[in-house]
Protein backbone atom coordinates (compact mmCIF):
# COMPACT_ATOMS: atom_id res chain seq x y z
CA UNK A 1 0.00 0.00 0.00
CA UNK A 2 1.26 3.45 -0.87
CA UNK A 3 1.84 5.68 2.15
CA UNK A 4 0.19 8.95 1.15
CA UNK A 5 0.88 10.50 4.53
CA UNK A 6 4.56 10.16 3.70
CA UNK A 7 4.18 11.53 0.18
CA UNK A 8 2.26 14.55 1.50
CA UNK A 9 5.10 15.27 3.93
CA UNK A 10 7.52 15.37 1.01
CA UNK A 11 6.05 18.69 -0.18
CA UNK A 12 6.25 22.24 1.02
CA UNK A 13 2.62 23.35 1.37
CA UNK A 14 2.18 26.95 2.54
CA UNK A 15 0.42 27.38 5.87
CA UNK A 16 -3.27 28.26 5.71
CA UNK A 17 -3.66 27.30 2.07
CA UNK A 18 -5.73 24.51 0.56
CA UNK A 19 -4.02 23.94 -2.76
CA UNK A 20 -6.18 22.47 -5.50
CA UNK A 21 -4.23 23.79 -8.44
CA UNK A 22 -1.55 21.17 -8.74
CA UNK A 23 -2.98 20.44 -12.17
CA UNK A 24 -1.55 23.80 -13.18
CA UNK A 25 1.62 23.97 -11.05
CA UNK A 26 2.58 21.33 -8.52
CA UNK A 27 4.05 22.47 -5.17
CA UNK A 28 7.75 22.19 -4.41
CA UNK A 29 9.05 18.87 -3.11
CA UNK A 30 11.13 19.79 -0.07
CA UNK A 31 14.16 17.95 -1.42
CA UNK A 32 14.20 19.85 -4.71
CA UNK A 33 15.72 23.01 -3.31
CA UNK A 34 18.70 21.29 -1.70
CA UNK A 35 19.20 19.09 -4.72
CA UNK A 36 19.41 22.05 -7.06
CA UNK A 37 21.71 23.94 -4.67
CA UNK A 38 23.98 20.89 -4.48
CA UNK A 39 24.01 20.49 -8.27
CA UNK A 40 25.03 24.12 -8.64
CA UNK A 41 27.71 23.94 -5.93
CA UNK A 42 29.16 20.49 -6.52
CA UNK A 43 28.61 19.99 -10.22
CA UNK A 44 28.38 23.24 -12.17
CA UNK A 45 30.80 25.15 -9.89
CA UNK A 46 33.39 22.47 -9.35
CA UNK A 47 33.20 20.20 -12.38
CA UNK A 48 32.52 22.94 -14.92
CA UNK A 49 32.51 21.47 -18.44
CA UNK A 50 33.48 18.00 -17.17
CA UNK A 51 30.05 17.79 -15.47
CA UNK A 52 28.58 16.66 -18.78
CA UNK A 53 30.29 13.32 -18.27
CA UNK A 54 31.28 13.19 -14.61
CA UNK A 55 27.88 14.24 -13.28
CA UNK A 56 25.97 12.49 -16.05
CA UNK A 57 24.32 15.60 -17.51
CA UNK A 58 24.37 14.16 -21.02
CA UNK A 59 22.44 11.07 -20.05
CA UNK A 60 20.11 12.90 -17.66
CA UNK A 61 17.31 13.32 -20.28
CA UNK A 62 17.22 9.55 -20.72
CA UNK A 63 17.77 8.65 -17.07
CA UNK A 64 14.98 10.97 -15.89
CA UNK A 65 12.84 9.71 -18.77
CA UNK A 66 13.19 6.18 -17.42
CA UNK A 67 11.70 7.35 -14.13
CA UNK A 68 8.66 8.73 -15.93
CA UNK A 69 8.30 5.63 -18.09
CA UNK A 70 6.96 3.62 -15.18
CA UNK A 71 4.30 6.25 -14.49
CA UNK A 72 2.92 6.08 -18.02
CA UNK A 73 3.05 2.35 -18.55
CA UNK A 74 6.05 1.95 -20.82
CA UNK A 75 9.52 0.49 -20.58
CA UNK A 76 12.95 1.91 -19.79
CA UNK A 77 14.77 3.52 -22.69
CA UNK A 78 11.52 4.60 -24.34
CA UNK A 79 11.12 8.12 -22.91
CA UNK A 80 13.37 11.15 -23.24
CA UNK A 81 13.15 14.58 -21.62
CA UNK A 82 13.60 18.09 -22.98
CA UNK A 83 12.08 21.24 -24.41
CA UNK A 84 8.48 22.18 -23.69
CA UNK A 85 5.30 20.26 -24.26
CA UNK A 86 4.40 22.33 -27.33
CA UNK A 87 7.76 21.50 -28.93
CA UNK A 88 7.30 17.83 -28.13
CA UNK A 89 3.79 17.86 -29.66
CA UNK A 90 5.39 19.23 -32.82
CA UNK A 91 8.05 16.51 -32.76
CA UNK A 92 5.56 13.70 -32.26
CA UNK A 93 2.97 14.86 -34.77
CA UNK A 94 5.58 15.65 -37.42
CA UNK A 95 7.15 12.23 -36.95
CA UNK A 96 3.77 10.47 -37.05
CA UNK A 97 2.78 12.36 -40.19
CA UNK A 98 6.01 11.32 -41.92
CA UNK A 99 5.23 7.68 -41.09
CA UNK A 100 1.96 7.94 -43.04
CA UNK A 101 3.10 9.22 -46.45
CA UNK A 102 0.23 10.08 -48.76
CA UNK A 103 -2.05 10.97 -45.87
CA UNK A 104 -2.34 14.59 -44.75
CA UNK A 105 -5.09 14.80 -42.16
CA UNK A 106 -4.46 15.47 -38.46
CA UNK A 107 -7.56 15.02 -36.32
CA UNK A 108 -8.03 16.57 -32.90
CA UNK A 109 -10.84 17.85 -30.71
CA UNK A 110 -11.84 21.23 -29.35
CA UNK A 111 -11.29 20.04 -25.78
CA UNK A 112 -7.61 19.74 -26.53
CA UNK A 113 -5.32 22.28 -24.94
CA UNK A 114 -5.18 25.20 -27.38
CA UNK A 115 -1.39 25.15 -27.66
CA UNK A 116 -1.55 21.65 -29.15
CA UNK A 117 -3.97 22.94 -31.76
CA UNK A 118 -1.80 25.99 -32.49
CA UNK A 119 1.24 23.76 -32.94
CA UNK A 120 -0.61 21.39 -35.24
CA UNK A 121 -1.99 24.33 -37.20
CA UNK A 122 1.53 25.74 -37.70
CA UNK A 123 2.85 22.33 -38.71
CA UNK A 124 -0.05 21.71 -41.08
CA UNK A 125 0.45 25.05 -42.78
CA UNK A 126 4.17 24.38 -43.18
CA UNK A 127 3.93 20.91 -44.66
CA UNK A 128 0.61 21.19 -46.48
CA UNK A 129 -1.41 19.02 -44.13
CA UNK A 130 -4.91 19.61 -42.80
CA UNK A 131 -5.96 19.97 -39.17
CA UNK A 132 -9.51 18.86 -38.44
CA UNK A 133 -11.03 19.73 -35.08
CA UNK A 134 -14.27 18.15 -33.86
CA UNK A 135 -16.10 17.96 -30.54
CA UNK A 136 -14.60 15.45 -28.07
CA UNK A 137 -17.62 13.14 -28.30
CA UNK A 138 -17.41 13.10 -32.11
CA UNK A 139 -13.81 11.95 -32.33
CA UNK A 140 -14.67 8.27 -32.86
CA UNK A 141 -16.99 8.99 -35.76
CA UNK A 142 -14.48 11.39 -37.33
CA UNK A 143 -11.77 8.76 -37.65
CA UNK A 144 -11.88 8.25 -41.40
CA UNK A 145 -9.62 6.29 -43.77
CA UNK A 146 -7.81 9.45 -44.90
CA UNK A 147 -6.57 10.13 -41.38
CA UNK A 148 -2.82 10.27 -40.82
CA UNK A 149 -2.62 11.25 -37.15
CA UNK A 150 -5.05 11.31 -34.25
CA UNK A 151 -3.74 13.92 -31.79
CA UNK A 152 -5.58 14.07 -28.48
CA UNK A 153 -5.08 15.14 -24.91
CA UNK A 154 -6.24 12.26 -22.79
CA UNK A 155 -7.73 14.33 -19.97
CA UNK A 156 -9.53 17.57 -20.89
CA UNK A 157 -7.89 20.56 -19.17
CA UNK A 158 -11.23 22.17 -18.35
CA UNK A 159 -13.70 19.35 -17.73
CA UNK A 160 -11.43 16.52 -16.64
CA UNK A 161 -13.16 14.29 -19.20
CA UNK A 162 -10.92 11.29 -19.92
CA UNK A 163 -10.80 9.85 -23.41
CA UNK A 164 -10.81 6.08 -23.81
CA UNK A 165 -7.24 5.83 -25.02
CA UNK A 166 -7.34 2.13 -25.90
CA UNK A 167 -10.62 2.32 -27.82
CA UNK A 168 -9.70 5.43 -29.82
CA UNK A 169 -6.24 4.09 -30.56
CA UNK A 170 -7.78 0.87 -31.86
CA UNK A 171 -10.17 2.86 -34.08
CA UNK A 172 -7.30 4.96 -35.39
CA UNK A 173 -5.20 1.90 -36.15
CA UNK A 174 -8.11 0.27 -37.94
CA UNK A 175 -8.24 3.36 -40.16
CA UNK A 176 -4.50 3.12 -40.77
CA UNK A 177 -3.67 6.19 -38.66
CA UNK A 178 -1.23 6.75 -35.81
CA UNK A 179 -1.95 8.29 -32.41
CA UNK A 180 -0.24 11.06 -30.45
CA UNK A 181 -1.44 11.32 -26.83
CA UNK A 182 -0.82 14.39 -24.72
CA UNK A 183 -0.57 13.31 -21.08
CA UNK A 184 -0.33 16.78 -19.52
CA UNK A 185 -3.26 16.08 -17.18
CA UNK A 186 -2.67 12.33 -16.98
CA UNK A 187 0.91 11.63 -15.97
CA UNK A 188 0.99 11.41 -12.19
CA UNK A 189 -2.77 11.83 -12.02
CA UNK A 190 -4.22 8.61 -13.41
CA UNK A 191 -3.04 5.09 -14.19
CA UNK A 192 -1.74 5.74 -17.70
CA UNK A 193 -1.08 2.59 -19.71
CA UNK A 194 0.32 3.55 -23.09
CA UNK A 195 1.62 0.08 -23.86
CA UNK A 196 -1.69 -1.51 -22.92
CA UNK A 197 -3.52 0.93 -25.18
CA UNK A 198 -1.01 0.19 -27.97
CA UNK A 199 -0.49 3.93 -28.51
CA UNK A 200 2.13 5.23 -30.95
CA UNK A 201 3.52 8.49 -29.52
CA UNK A 202 2.95 10.36 -26.27
CA UNK A 203 4.10 13.64 -24.80
CA UNK A 204 3.57 15.42 -21.53
CA UNK A 205 4.69 18.14 -19.18
CA UNK A 206 6.15 17.68 -15.73
CA UNK A 207 5.15 20.81 -13.83
CA UNK A 208 1.63 19.68 -13.00
CA UNK A 209 1.12 16.37 -11.18
CA UNK A 210 4.83 15.52 -11.46
CA UNK A 211 5.82 18.66 -9.52
CA UNK A 212 8.97 19.52 -11.47
CA UNK A 213 8.65 23.30 -11.01
CA UNK A 214 7.46 26.19 -13.17
CA UNK A 215 8.35 25.50 -16.81
CA UNK A 216 9.89 22.09 -16.04
CA UNK A 217 10.98 20.09 -19.12
CA UNK A 218 8.61 17.97 -21.17
CA UNK A 219 8.81 14.29 -22.05
CA UNK A 220 8.23 12.33 -25.21
CA UNK A 221 7.62 8.63 -25.76
CA UNK A 222 7.86 6.72 -29.00
CA UNK A 223 6.54 3.19 -29.24
CA UNK A 224 9.54 0.91 -29.95
CA UNK A 225 7.94 -0.20 -33.23
CA UNK A 226 8.36 3.38 -34.55
CA UNK A 227 11.51 4.39 -32.71
CA UNK A 228 13.96 3.51 -35.48
CA UNK A 229 11.77 4.86 -38.30
CA UNK A 230 10.53 8.10 -36.77
CA UNK A 231 11.92 11.18 -38.49
CA UNK A 232 10.83 14.33 -36.67
CA UNK A 233 11.25 17.71 -38.36
CA UNK A 234 13.20 19.23 -35.48
CA UNK A 235 16.58 17.58 -35.74
CA UNK A 236 19.18 18.97 -33.37
CA UNK A 237 22.64 17.86 -32.41
CA UNK A 238 21.58 16.07 -29.23
CA UNK A 239 19.39 13.81 -31.37
CA UNK A 240 22.32 12.98 -33.66
CA UNK A 241 23.86 9.53 -33.64
CA UNK A 242 27.26 11.02 -32.77
CA UNK A 243 26.90 14.63 -31.56
CA UNK A 244 30.62 15.05 -30.94
CA UNK A 245 31.68 13.88 -34.37
CA UNK A 246 30.37 17.28 -35.53
CA UNK A 247 29.36 15.85 -38.89
CA UNK A 248 27.85 18.30 -41.32
CA UNK A 249 24.95 15.95 -42.09
CA UNK A 250 22.31 14.67 -39.69
CA UNK A 251 22.11 10.99 -38.77
CA UNK A 252 19.41 10.23 -36.23
CA UNK A 253 20.39 8.59 -32.97
CA UNK A 254 18.96 5.16 -32.23
CA UNK A 255 15.53 4.96 -30.65
CA UNK A 256 13.80 7.77 -28.82
CA UNK A 257 17.08 9.69 -28.39
CA UNK A 258 16.50 11.17 -31.84
CA UNK A 259 13.64 13.14 -30.34
CA UNK A 260 16.17 15.18 -28.39
CA UNK A 261 17.00 18.53 -29.95
CA UNK A 262 19.34 20.96 -28.18
CA UNK A 263 21.47 21.03 -25.05
CA UNK A 264 19.45 19.68 -22.09
CA UNK A 265 18.30 22.02 -19.28
CA UNK A 266 20.38 20.54 -16.48
CA UNK A 267 19.27 22.73 -13.57
CA UNK A 268 15.59 22.20 -14.38
CA UNK A 269 16.07 18.47 -14.88
CA UNK A 270 17.77 18.28 -11.48
CA UNK A 271 14.73 19.82 -9.78
CA UNK A 272 12.49 17.38 -11.63
CA UNK A 273 14.70 14.44 -10.71
CA UNK A 274 14.30 15.32 -7.03
CA UNK A 275 10.53 15.61 -7.51
CA UNK A 276 10.41 12.14 -9.02
CA UNK A 277 11.91 10.61 -5.87
CA UNK A 278 8.51 11.06 -4.25
CA UNK A 279 7.08 8.59 -6.77
CA UNK A 280 9.44 5.76 -5.93
CA UNK A 281 7.06 4.00 -3.53
CA UNK A 282 3.80 4.99 -5.20
CA UNK A 283 1.67 2.32 -6.85
CA UNK A 284 -0.44 3.60 -9.73
CA UNK A 285 -3.46 1.56 -8.66
CA UNK A 286 -3.33 3.21 -5.23
CA UNK A 287 -2.93 6.60 -6.86
CA UNK A 288 -5.96 6.08 -9.03
CA UNK A 289 -8.10 4.80 -6.14
CA UNK A 290 -7.18 7.80 -4.01
CA UNK A 291 -7.82 10.21 -6.89
CA UNK A 292 -11.29 8.76 -7.38
CA UNK A 293 -12.04 8.91 -3.65
CA UNK A 294 -11.02 12.59 -3.51
CA UNK A 295 -12.93 13.68 -6.63
CA UNK A 296 -16.04 11.69 -5.65
CA UNK A 297 -16.07 13.24 -2.19
CA UNK A 298 -15.66 16.71 -3.67
CA UNK A 299 -18.49 16.32 -6.18
CA UNK A 300 -20.78 14.89 -3.54
CA UNK A 301 -19.92 17.65 -1.06
CA UNK A 302 -20.27 20.53 -3.51
CA UNK A 303 -23.52 19.26 -4.99
CA UNK A 304 -24.99 18.97 -1.49
CA UNK A 305 -23.82 22.39 -0.30
CA UNK A 306 -23.68 24.61 -3.39
CA UNK A 307 -26.92 24.67 -5.39
CA UNK A 308 -25.68 27.52 -7.63
CA UNK A 309 -23.00 25.58 -9.44
CA UNK A 310 -23.30 22.95 -12.16
CA UNK A 311 -20.99 19.96 -12.51
CA UNK A 312 -18.86 20.37 -15.63
CA UNK A 313 -17.03 17.02 -15.34
CA UNK A 314 -18.17 13.49 -16.12
CA UNK A 315 -20.04 11.94 -13.22
CA UNK A 316 -18.60 8.51 -13.91
CA UNK A 317 -15.13 8.43 -12.29
CA UNK A 318 -13.91 6.03 -14.97
CA UNK A 319 -14.46 8.76 -17.54
CA UNK A 320 -12.71 11.42 -15.49
CA UNK A 321 -9.13 12.37 -14.68
CA UNK A 322 -8.04 13.76 -11.32
CA UNK A 323 -9.78 17.10 -11.57
CA UNK A 324 -13.30 18.36 -11.20
CA UNK A 325 -14.83 21.49 -12.59
CA UNK A 326 -18.06 23.32 -11.94
CA UNK A 327 -19.68 26.15 -13.83
CA UNK A 328 -21.01 29.35 -12.31
CA UNK A 329 -22.14 32.43 -14.29
CA UNK A 330 -19.81 34.55 -12.12
CA UNK A 331 -17.09 31.93 -12.15
CA UNK A 332 -14.24 34.39 -12.36
CA UNK A 333 -15.30 36.39 -9.29
CA UNK A 334 -16.21 33.25 -7.38
CA UNK A 335 -12.73 31.84 -7.90
CA UNK A 336 -11.08 35.10 -6.84
CA UNK A 337 -13.16 35.15 -3.66
CA UNK A 338 -12.34 31.51 -2.99
CA UNK A 339 -8.62 32.20 -3.40
CA UNK A 340 -8.95 35.14 -1.00
CA UNK A 341 -10.37 32.65 1.50
CA UNK A 342 -7.35 30.36 1.12
CA UNK A 343 -8.62 27.74 -1.33
CA UNK A 344 -6.64 27.83 -4.53
CA UNK A 345 -8.23 26.43 -7.66
CA UNK A 346 -8.33 28.20 -10.97
CA UNK A 347 -10.68 29.77 -13.46
CA UNK A 348 -10.96 28.90 -17.11
CA UNK A 349 -13.01 31.05 -19.45
CA UNK A 350 -15.89 31.52 -19.80
CA UNK A 351 -17.32 30.27 -16.48
CA UNK A 352 -15.36 27.28 -15.24
CA UNK A 353 -14.14 26.75 -11.67
CA UNK A 354 -11.43 24.13 -11.87
CA UNK A 355 -10.10 22.03 -9.00
CA UNK A 356 -7.22 19.58 -9.30
CA UNK A 357 -6.74 16.75 -6.82
CA UNK A 358 -3.20 15.49 -6.55
CA UNK A 359 -3.26 12.22 -4.61
CA UNK A 360 0.35 12.68 -3.52
CA UNK A 361 -0.47 15.59 -1.22
CA UNK A 362 -4.21 16.34 -1.30
CA UNK A 363 -6.37 14.54 1.25
CA UNK A 364 -9.97 14.41 2.45
CA UNK A 365 -9.36 17.34 4.82
CA UNK A 366 -8.53 19.45 1.77
CA UNK A 367 -11.76 18.32 0.17
CA UNK A 368 -13.74 19.22 3.29
CA UNK A 369 -12.20 22.68 3.56
CA UNK A 370 -12.73 23.37 -0.14
CA UNK A 371 -16.39 22.36 0.01
CA UNK A 372 -17.04 24.37 3.16
CA UNK A 373 -15.30 27.46 1.79
CA UNK A 374 -16.96 27.34 -1.62
CA UNK A 375 -20.35 26.94 0.07
CA UNK A 376 -19.64 29.97 2.26
CA UNK A 377 -18.40 32.10 -0.67
CA UNK A 378 -21.60 31.35 -2.56
CA UNK A 379 -24.05 31.45 0.34
CA UNK A 380 -22.69 34.72 1.74
CA UNK A 381 -22.13 36.23 -1.72
CA UNK A 382 -18.47 36.92 -0.92
CA UNK A 383 -17.72 36.99 -4.65
CA UNK A 384 -20.05 39.95 -5.01
CA UNK A 385 -17.27 42.39 -4.18
CA UNK A 386 -15.98 44.74 -6.82
CA UNK A 387 -12.35 43.77 -6.26
CA UNK A 388 -13.05 40.23 -7.42
CA UNK A 389 -14.38 41.37 -10.78
CA UNK A 390 -11.39 43.23 -12.10
CA UNK A 391 -9.87 40.83 -14.61
CA UNK A 392 -7.04 43.23 -15.37
CA UNK A 393 -5.75 42.76 -11.83
CA UNK A 394 -5.25 39.02 -12.15
CA UNK A 395 -4.62 36.81 -15.11
Q: How far is the CB of 336 from a second copy (least distance, A)?
A: 11
Interface residue with a second copy among 3, 138, 228, 247 (CB under 8 A) is: 247
Interface residue with a second copy among 8, 31, 52, 372 (CB under 8 A) is: 52
Is the separation of the CB atoms in 391 and 39 below 8 Å?
Answer: no
The answer to whether 45 contacts a second copy (rule: CB under 8 A) is yes
Q: Mention every residue, 6+ apart, whose C-beta is less than 8 A from residue 54.
A: 43, 47
Q: Mention every residue, 6+ apart, whose C-beta is less than 8 A from residue 143.
A: 107, 150, 168, 171, 172, 174, 175, 177
Q: How far is the CB of 34 from a second copy (least distance, A)?
A: 9
Q: How far apart are CA 366 and CA 378, in angstroms?
A: 18
Q: Is 258 an active-site residue?
A: no
Q: How far is the CB of 377 from a second copy (least distance, A)?
A: 18
Backbone angles phi, psi at 105, to 5 degrees: -100, 130
- Burial class of residue 141, CB neighbours in 10 A (0-12, 13-18, 19+): exposed
**How many other β-carbons are positioned within 10 Å of the β-carbon of residue 354?**
24
Q: How far is the CB of 198 from a second copy (least distance, A)?
A: 28
Q: How far is the CB of 25 from a second copy (least distance, A)?
A: 5
Is the separation of the CB atoms in 343 and 20 below 8 Å?
Answer: yes
Q: Is 332 an active-site residue?
A: no
Q: Is 284 annotated as a binding residue?
A: no
Q: Is 207 annotated as a binding residue?
A: yes
The answer to whether 121 contacts a second copy (rule: CB under 8 A) is yes
Residues touching a second copy, count (CB under 8 A): 87
Site for a second copy in 161-220 (CB under 8 A): 205, 207, 213-218
Q: Which is nearer to a second copy, 128 or 386 (CB)?
A: 128
66, 219, 354, 357: which is the annotated catalytic residue? 354
The answer to whether 12 contacts a second copy (rule: CB under 8 A) is yes
- Burial class of residue 229, CB neighbours in 10 A (0-12, 13-18, 19+): exposed
Interface residue with a second copy among 3, 6, 9, 37 (CB under 8 A) is: 37
19, 207, 326, 361: which is the annotated catalytic residue? 207
Q: How far is the CB of 289 from a second copy (least distance, A)?
A: 26
Piece of the chain touching a second copy by CB under 8 A; list 67-75, 277-285, 288-296, 343-351: 343-351
Piece of the chain touching a second copy by CB under 8 A; list 99-107, 124-132, 135-143, 295-303: 124-132
Q: How far is the CB of 70 from a second copy (least distance, A)?
A: 24
Interface residue with a second copy among 267, 285, 304, 364 (CB under 8 A) is: 267
Q: How far apart are CA 305 and CA 264, in angstroms?
A: 49
Q: Is 157 an active-site residue?
A: no
Instruction: Identify the bridge partners of residue 343 per DSSP, sorted by sequence position.
Output: 18
**How many other β-carbons are positioned within 10 Å of the β-carbon of residue 125?**
11
Is the separation of the CB atoms in 81 and 61 below 8 Å?
Answer: yes
Q: What is the DSSP string of 194-251?
A: HHHHT-SEEEE-SSSTT---TTPPPEEEE-HHHHTT---S---GGGBS-GGG--SS--
The answer to whether 392 contacts a second copy (rule: CB under 8 A) is no
Question: Which segments of 73-160 does DSSP mark as H helices, in order?
Answer: 85-98, 114-127, 139-142
Q: What are the CA-CA distances from residue 52 to residues 10, 39, 68, 84, 106 (Å)?
A: 29, 12, 22, 21, 38
Q: Is 369 an active-site residue?
A: no
Interface residue with a second copy among 169, 235, 295, 323 (CB under 8 A) is: 235
The answer to whether 349 contacts a second copy (rule: CB under 8 A) is yes
Q: Which is nearer to a second copy, 133 or 305 (CB)?
A: 133
Interface residue with a second copy among 18, 19, 186, 371 (CB under 8 A) is: 19
Q: How far apart are CA 312 and CA 324, in angstroms?
A: 7
| Residues placed in the known binding site for pyridoxal 5'-phosphate | 85-86, 113-116, 153, 182, 185, 207, 237, 263
Q: Report, as residue numbers or ranges, the catalytic residues.
A: 113, 182, 207-208, 354
Amino acid sequence: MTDFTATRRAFHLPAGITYLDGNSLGPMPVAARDRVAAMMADEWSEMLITGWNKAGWYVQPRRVGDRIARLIGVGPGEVVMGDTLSIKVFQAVSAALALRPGRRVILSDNGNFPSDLYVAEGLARAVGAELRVVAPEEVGAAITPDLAVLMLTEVDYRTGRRHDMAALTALAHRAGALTVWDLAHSAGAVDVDLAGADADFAVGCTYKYLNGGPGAPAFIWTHPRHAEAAQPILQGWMGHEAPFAFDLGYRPAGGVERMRVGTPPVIALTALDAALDVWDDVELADLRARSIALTEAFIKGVEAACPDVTLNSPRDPQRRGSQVSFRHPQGYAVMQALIAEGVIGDFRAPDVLRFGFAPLYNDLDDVGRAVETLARVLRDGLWNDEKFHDKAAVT
